[in-house]
Structure 1
Amino acid sequence: MISQESQERLAVFDMDGTLLQGDSVSAYLNCLARNGLITEDFRKDDDYHRREFMNGTLDIGFFYRHVLSPLRGWSRERLRDFMSAMTASDIRPLIYREARDLVKRLKDEGFRVIIVSATFDLIVETVAREIFSVTDIIATKTAFRDGVFTGEPLEPYSHQSGKALLLNRMLQENGWTLRGSMGFGDTVNDIEMLTAVEQAHAVNARGKFRDYAVSRGWKLLEFSRTEGSPEAN
């Protein structure tokens, strides 16, 4: 157990739309399509799913069973190699340079960075490890049976209230507190997580999420430069 006196301050980051531009699951689906692993029809409801997510009304369990289905039957090794290659080719160019620099600065200042995402763990673990050198994550867990991927997301999902629930579970397991903590998110799905930290930041906030952030006095941040943009090089 880490005492409150000696513990690091925590910096809690949502991933999609906060650390990277857009949605890592869309990048994942792009990679699947490019490699002939899904058909065009597989993505016919993409726009609907995106709107539902932004509105906070997406059935996350149903959605992840759908997007994970092409990976059923894969071995851990095959999944690891695919996620690593996909992260390098499809997600790294989407990373906000401002977010990358912020994570580095906070780590240098002694913060323990935790990435908390509704996205499934196969992606989040890879992005956290290979791009941000972060080992503490909270994500929607996925299931294996006898070393083979089942395609099933596991409850509780790391989504909306699930983010706060799983964050609190991590705090209890490690003897950490949110004293002096910071949080960063970009949609209504992050409200409960951001309400839990001491200093909340709304990244590229729009619509009712921006209105809510302003009403709470949260700091507003704008990220725009991605690793794939010419000005980032």
Structure 2
Amino acid sequence: MDDSRTTDATPVAVPPDTDAPTAAFFDLDKTIIATSSATAFSRPFMAGGLLTRRSVIRTAYAQLLYLAGGADEAQTERLRAQLSRMVTGWDVAQVSSIVAETLHESIDPAVYAEAVALIEEHHEAGRDVVIVSASGSEIVEPIAAVLGADHVIATRMAVLDGLYTGEIDFYAYGENKATAIRELAAERGYDLAASYAYSDSITDVPMLETVGHGFAVNADRALRRVAVERGWGLLTFSRPVALLSLVRPSTRSVVVATVAVAAGCALAVWLVRRARRRAA
């Protein structure tokens, strides 16, 4: 284990001492990546005509508050409300196409090397890796695929006729994350007492409480205090790098091909829908 990665003596990613399946649950923003996944695609969304320059500035300001603050409930709710208003009327297929095409450009430089190494350690220990994020599934799922995650828990936006309505079907936040983790554990047979969870946010205390091994990553004062009280591990991730630089050569081509196929499929769906609307 890389001792510089942790400030706590609790073992990280050790082999399970149970015959039941186990999992490692990772928050995404500021835990695996050093930014907000929901706003990382602002520039390509603007280039695709989904965002105006003014809305990009508002989104960047919301992200600045999110990153500078402790990501408390009020800050996260403001960002959620801003993003919900912003995506109303967007074409789902177009969003998926843009995310797939610009994934490495938007996310690669912000991935923590320590997080990628830890994900690999958990896989080697025989655990499933689950990404749990309040960002939308259309954004989280491609990122999770590149990271090699086995499952995703993410916010699901309401869709009507291929367009976002601005309503939310499931908001993966706070206690909702913990509920979704328990539901997935029941479905997959995970032993949660032998499972792991990682997050930077005080709002994810319910998620960290759900497993037997909770870790606070780059914790602010509030989360650090709770982590010390609960006996959770404290980790520091500080090396954002390009994801492809950490992927083995044997799997790099698979990663690139997966993203390319996803981009092609999403673009085809969007073009068909656009042609139908013009013909209507």
Fold shared per TM-score above 0.5: yes
- Report the Cα offset of residue 166 of structure 1: 1.3
Shift of 1:139: 0.3
Over 3 Å counting, the alpha-carbon distance change for 1:135 and 1:68 in structure 2 is farther
Q: CA deviation at 1:68?
A: 2.0
Contact 2:193 2:213 in 1 (8 A): no
Which ranges of 4 or more aligned residues in structure 1 deviate by more than 4 Å? none
| Aligned counterpart in structure 1 of residue 84 of structure 2, from 65, 70, 77 | 65
1:207 counterpart (206, 221, 241): 221
Instruction: Please state which structure has a larger fraction of its residues in helix.
Output: 2
Q: Determine whether 1:83 maps to 2:96.
A: no
One-letter amino acid of the structure 2 residue matched with residue 103 of structure 1: I
Determine helix, strand or coil for the equivalent of 1:26. coil
TM-score of the superposed pair, with normalisation by structure 1: 0.84
Partner of 1:54 in structure 2? 71
TM-score by length of 2: 0.71
Find the counterpart in structure 1 of residue 111 from structure 2. 95
Establish whether residue 20 from structure 1 lines up as the match of residue 39 from structure 2.
no
- Other-structure match for 1:135: 150
Q: Residue in 2 aligned with 1:171?
A: 185
Name 1:116's counterpart in structure 2: 132
The 3 A distance-change label for structure 1 pair 232 and 21 is: same
Structure 1 residues 153, 103: closer, same or farther in 2, change over 3 A?
A: farther
Quote the Cα distance in structure 2 between the aligned partners of 1:73 and 1:127: 20
CA shift, 1:153, in A, is 4.6
State the distance in 1 between where 2:61 and 2:95 align: 26
Does the residue aligned with 1:191 lie in a helix, a strand or coil?
Answer: helix
Residue range with higher mean Cα deviation, 93-102 or 42-51: 42-51
Q: 1:97 to 1:217 in 2, by over 3 A?
A: same
Q: Which position in structure 2 is the counterpart of 1:8?
A: 21
- Deviation string 1:59-118 (CA, Å, 9 cap, x unpaired) is 36523312423xx35252x33321112321111211111111110111011011111111
Measure the CA separation in 2 of the matches of 1:105 and 1:206: 25
SS of the aligned residue for 1:25 comes to coil
- Bigger radius of gyration, 1 or 2? 2
Q: Residue 183 of structure 1: SS of its match in structure 2?
A: strand
- Taking every aligned residue pair, what percent have the same amino acid on both sides? 26
Which segments of 5 or more consecutive residues in structure 2 lack a partner in the other structure? 1-17, 248-280
SS in 2 for 1:12: strand
Cα–Cα, structure 1 residues 33 and 104, in superposed 2: closer, same or farther, change >3 Å? same
Question: What amino acid sits opposite 1:145 in the alignment?
Answer: L
Aligned residues: 223
Q: Please, which runs of 5 or more residues in structure 1 have no aligned partner?
A: none
Separation (CA, whole Å) in 2 of partners of 1:172 and 1:64: 32
Distance 1:232 1:79, change over 3 A: closer
